[in-house]
Amino acid sequence: MKLIPRILAAFALIGIIAAPLAAQTTGAVPAGEASRPLKLDGRALPLGGALKSPDVWLNYKSRFITEQGRVLDTGNNYVSHSEGQGYGMLLAVAANDRPVFDLLWGWTRANLLVRGDDLFAWRWEPGQRPAVTDMNNASDGDLLIAWALTEAADFWGDQALRIAARRIAVDIGRKLVVNKSAHGALLLPALAGFAAEDRNDGPVVNLSYYVFPALGRLSLVAPEIDWTGIMQSGLTLLKAAQIGSSRLPGDWTALKDGAPKPAQGFPNAFAYNAIRIPLYLSWAGIGEREHYEPFAAWARHRRGQATIVDLASGRDIETYGETGYAAVPALTLCVTDEQSVPVELRTSSPSENYYPATLRALALIALQMRYPSCLRG
């Protein structure tokens, strides 16, 4: 759902872009790294008050959150979506900003909770009437909102927020999870359009929709849902999807007959969706080196600069143009190589768009919660 036209246009340039990841000498694994165990701590940590950088939140809310509580996707015609509202709510809890959290939740509830269930319409367009033209949901947005409400209820002791979180979490577990598959409990990207009966190559999943730190916390409000099983299926799929020369997962993965393949109708790329996978893995503190190493190789080969990768050839399509994207490879190399995060990624940028600014802020929270040693020096 993220900037697909831009990716399609970039594929026209593929013949003149850099060599495949597998051939990059700068992507070599440092001596001893491949066998060294990662220092991971998979405890489900609370989010409330975790952001220790007030300037990051002040910049974020002044640039991307309206007085009504709508999060603006400044790189995508100023639309709003369930993902953005969820990210904004999470950041508000992490920054201990209850007034802004309430604004965000109020707008989200009034404008996206319009389907007749406890899932959210995924997109709201300014200047359109109706502003919601597609009533389908997006499971990552649903998870982010449910997680934010869970963290807010836990941090601020608000029972009404806990009830709201539970309703959403239960609908996710009952409507969006396929419990019997070759890979375990599959999380579908939406209620409509991705199941086996909806597509010739279905079911189709988006591995960046497995918001691992959320899955570790939603048992607080809906313990009857097998969140651990869903998390495990995501980890299993990450290994199974390492099928190209780069071993990176694509944004969209088809699972017909159980074998991961590029989904029909989507660019076969590691791009704007999949860049979130190493962020969520690192934030949750889960997995094995095998899960992280493809992302670490991607980070090393451009010395921390984030690139979009064509998975058929293993070649770079383009470099992300805004520095916030680089926070994800920096976080990855903190986990795998114990590298210190560059100083310029530890603060906010006054000019970058909503999505890279969000990735930067989330990566910083993950670092402050789990890997503070990478913020020293």
Name the residue among 266, 243, 245, 263 with its Cα closest to residue 253: 263
**Alpha-helix runs per DSSP H in the chain:** 4-11, 54-64, 82-94, 98-111, 139-156, 159-175, 212-215, 227-240, 276-284, 289-301, 327-337, 354-370
Percent of the chain with pLDDT over 90: 85
Q: Give the whole-angstrom CA distance, residue 169 versus residue 179.
A: 15
Q: What is the mean pLDDT of residues 209-235?
A: 97
Is the N-terminal amide bond of 249 cis, ω within 30° of 0? no
pLDDT in tens, 155-195: 999 999 999 999 999 999 999 999 988 889 999 999 999 99
With a cut of 60, say whether residue 41 has pLDDT above it: yes
Q: What is the mean pLDDT of residues 201-221?
A: 98
Count of residues in the chain: 377
The CATH number of domain 4-375 is 2.60.40.420: no
With a cut of 50, say whether residue 33 has pLDDT above it: yes
Handedness of CA 234, 152, 45, 353 (dihedral sign): positive
Q: What is the mean pLDDT of residues 364-368?
A: 98
Average pLDDT taken over every residue of the chain:
91
DSSP conformation letters of 230-284:
HHHHHHHHHHHT--SSS-PPPSSEE-GGG--EEPTTS--EE-TTTTHHHHHHHHH
Confidence of residue 28 (pLDDT cuts 50, 70, 90): low
Mark 220-231 as b/e (b = at least 16 C-beta within 10 Å): bbbeebbbeebb
Handedness of CA 207, 211, 217, 221 (dihedral sign): negative
Phi and psi at residue 170, to the nearest 5°: -65, -40
Handedness of CA 345, 350, 353, 359 (dihedral sign): positive
pLDDT in tens, 318-344: 999 899 999 999 999 999 999 999 999
Residues facing 366 on adjacent strands: none
Question: What pLDDT does 243 receive?
Answer: 87
Tokens 């409507």 identify what position? 175
Question: What pLDDT does 30 receive?
Answer: 55
Question: What pLDDT does 322 receive?
Answer: 94
Provide the residue ranges of all domains of the chain, joining segments of one domain with +: 4-375
Strand 269-270 and strand 186-187: the pairing is unpaired
- The set of catalytic residues is 83, 140
Contacting residues for 263 by C-beta, under 8 A, at least 6 apart: 201, 204, 250, 252, 253, 254
Q: What is the mean pLDDT of residues 13-25?
A: 39
Tokens 């359109």 identify what position? 128
